[in-house]
Amino acid sequence: MSKEIEDYSVSSQDRSSSTPELTRWQRIKDSFKPAEPEKQDIENLDQDGEKTGLKRDLKNRHVSMIALGGSIGTGLLIGSGSALRTGGPAALLIAWGIVGTMVFTVVHALGELCCAYPVPGAFSTYANMFIDDSWAFSVGWNYALMWLFVLPLELVAAAMCITYWNDTINPASWVAIFYVFIFLINTFGVKYYGEAEVYLTSIKLIAIVGFIILGVVLVCGGGPTHEFIGDKNWKEGGAFTFGFKGVATTFVTASYSMGGTEMVGLTSAEVDNPGKVLPKAIRQIFWRILLFYFLSLTFVGLLVPANSPDLLGGSQTSTSPFVIAIKIGGIKALPSIFNACILISVLSVGNSAVFGCSRTIQSLGTQKLAPKIFAYVDRKGRPLFGLGFAAVFGLLCFLSAYHDQGTVFAWLLSVCGLATVISWLNIALCHVRFRLAMQKQGRSLDELTFTSLTGIWGSIYSIGFLIFVLVIQFWTALFPLENGGKASAKNFFQNYLGAVVILVLYTAHKLYTRNWRLMKNLSDVDLDTGRRVVDIELIKAELEEERLKNQQKPFYKRFWNYWC
């Protein structure tokens, strides 16, 4: 009997030692199977009320960091050099300042929509709900294409950063490493994407704050050269290098650099409590615009001459204006350190590009605006075919091996810049239509847990400004600064390709569906489907309780809690 017990004990030990390995492998295999709605521990619905399978694993710290600096990358750190060269130092402040006010209103409008309708693929979904399916198709694919191009764009920029240290190594080898790194993060799931953004964004923010402090020191003559710079570059090179047309060319670069701010809305379907998390993240946009864009570019304009040959589009190797500013200051080791921070920033935006593209394509699949296979979500909440599509398209990054990286960068940027403008235009238009539908159907704003600080008039202002940007971009694309203002097909498509793409997509869908309606009737807009079921009275009671607690705190604490 004891022998049988001993044999059973040994066999049990064998099974216990082998089972975990088999179970782990089985779990990995099973994770790629379709999500099973009845086993989900979340309630995540699309606009039709169907469960999507996406996981609500993003926490407050993830969304806050994504909002604060998730898209600080090539547009600000490298592309701003081109804007400085063509527009001048004053153009940087004008373009980023005006675009910043518009972004502030757009993100608040988006926050109102996302808190009410935390559905996947927010932008195209809202277009389908409040405007028209053809418009939803065009803006949805426009946004997906933007991120498809942003990924190789950021990786080409990463190769450009590497050449700062060594231009003899084939940049494709580095790009391959970055490419694998980004897709590994996204393959692990949304939680790991959020964690990666927390650390990568922290490094970016520390670098930008450090640059601003250094900028104050260098402008005041505290650098190794002890030269007081002040407004020297404004006087010698002029505040504007090419007049109004030069300023006009900088708006698209400014728009692209702030692109990704709307990523906060895209995360709403994967946030545990969007009604509480999103408003705080949206309020942080104010600091992001003021501190990380406006102040940093102020010192770039003061420290870097607009005619520097190292700027993007100049005659020599393109370098970040931030690195140029540090080199001019005479600090030897710091340019390499900051260049490494730029490299990290670029990888962070590339990481966001894969997330944004895969979620948008998955949403298009659920809306039947893309092949149904793209709607597939596995048990880990990963839109596998969306990730695969982004991976295939991301292979364009190997164009970095092309000898003229600046040209590749410019063509990729041409698609992304206007795509951002059109996406923001869509958000503002959806918000206006949502408010008008609420009014038409006799619904009260008291139903909403969060309302836009700038209201419907902020969205109307944004629509007007964005249409203005599209018009002046058409003008500068048709009659460029180069070649004496003569028309050039190459220059036109390089600067206006994004608008052409949206027009082709919209027209093609109209012809295919034979639906010639421009917009839905306000009375036909469904204001209930897709709404997350919440107890409005309970939320209002919680907010009132929190407000009363805050009233008892000092002013500086109330200010910090609201904006930070």
For residue 49, what pLDDT band results from cuts at 50, 70 and 90? very low
Q: What is the pLDDT of residue 400?
A: 57
User: Which one is predicted more confidently, 234 or 189?
Assistant: 234
In a domain, 107, yes or no: yes
Instruction: Read off the pLDDT of residues 112-125 as tens digits, 9 standing for 90 and up.
Output: 888 888 776 667 78
In a domain, 96, yes or no: yes
In a domain, 83, yes or no: yes
Q: What is the pLDDT of residue 459?
A: 94
In a domain, 315, yes or no: yes
In a domain, 205, yes or no: yes
Please say if the pLDDT value at position 3 is more than 60. no
User: Which one is predicted more confidently, 12 or 284?
Assistant: 284
Instruction: Read off the pLDDT of residues 442-473 as tens digits, 9 standing for 90 and up.
Output: 888 877 878 888 889 999 999 999 999 888 88
Q: What is the pLDDT of residue 428?
A: 94
Please say if the pLDDT value at position 392 is more than 90. no
Instruction: Read off the pLDDT of residues 425-450 as tens digits, 9 standing for 90 and up.
Output: 999 999 999 999 999 988 888 778 78
Q: What is the pLDDT of residue 18?
A: 44
Q: What is the pLDDT of residue 170?
A: 74
Mean pLDDT of the 291-308 span: 86
DSSP per-residue letters across 30-95: HHTSBP-GGG-SS--B-TTS-B------B-HHHHHHHHHHTT-SHHHHTHHHHHHHHH-HHHHHHH
Q: What is the pLDDT of residue 272?
A: 67
User: Which one is predicted more confidently, 171 or 341?
Assistant: 341
Which tokens sit at 101?
A: 């006010």
pTM of the model: 0.82
Mean pLDDT of the 46-52 span: 48
Q: What is the pLDDT of residue 413?
A: 65
Which tokens sit at 177?
A: 């490493």
In a domain, 2, yes or no: no
Please say if the pLDDT value at position 19 is more than 50. no
Instruction: Read off the pLDDT of residues 521-558 as tens digits, 9 standing for 90 and up.
Output: 888 888 887 676 556 677 667 767 777 777 777 776 76
Which tokens sit at 319?
A: 């370098």
Q: What is the pLDDT of residue 462?
A: 93
Q: What is the pLDDT of residue 152?
A: 80
> For residues 176 and 152, what is the distance between their CA atoms, to the nearest angstrom?
11
Q: What is the pLDDT of residue 436?
A: 93
Q: What is the pLDDT of residue 465?
A: 92
**Count of structural domains within the chain:** 1
Question: What is the distance, to the nearest Å, from the Cα of residue 463 to the centroid of all Cα atoms in its chain?
Answer: 19
For residue 67, what pLDDT band results from cuts at 50, 70 and 90? low
Please say if the pLDDT value at position 9 is more than 50. no
In a domain, 47, yes or no: no
Instruction: Read off the pLDDT of residues 240-285 as tens digits, 9 standing for 90 and up.
Output: 888 788 888 888 788 878 877 777 777 766 666 666 777 777 777 7
Full residue range of the structural domain in which residue 170 is found = 58-533
What are the distances in angstroms from CA 363 to CA 132, 136, 369, 385, 394?
16, 11, 9, 12, 20
> For residues 26 and 536, what is the distance between their CA atoms, to the nearest angstrom?
43
Q: What is the pLDDT of residue 564?
A: 57
User: Residue by residue, what is the 3-state secondary structure of 430-485?
Assistant: HHHHHHHHHHHCCCCHHHCCCCCCCHHHHHHHHHHHHHHHHHHHHHHHHCCCHHHH
Instruction: Read off the pLDDT of residues 339-389 as tens digits, 9 standing for 90 and up.
Output: 888 888 878 888 888 888 888 888 888 888 888 888 888 777 788 888 888
Q: What is the pLDDT of residue 378?
A: 79
Mean pLDDT of the 96-107 span: 88
Please say if the pLDDT value at position 51 is more than 70. no
Beta bridge partners, 51, equal 45
Q: What is the pLDDT of residue 342?
A: 81
Q: What is the pLDDT of residue 4?
A: 46
In a domain, 553, yes or no: no
Please say if the pLDDT value at position 29 is more than 70. no
Q: Which of 136, 64, 524 is nearest to 366 (CA)?
A: 136
CA atoms within 13 A on the CB side of 370: 28
- CATH code at position 216: 1.20.1740.10
The DSSP 8-state label assigned to residue 293 in this structure reads: I
- What's the whole-number average pLDDT of the chain? 77
Q: Which of 345, 293, 296, 256 is nearest to 96 (CA)?
A: 293
Please say if the pLDDT value at position 46 is more than 70. no
User: Which one is predicted more confidently, 7 or 340?
Assistant: 340
For residue 38, what pLDDT band results from cuts at 50, 70 and 90? very low
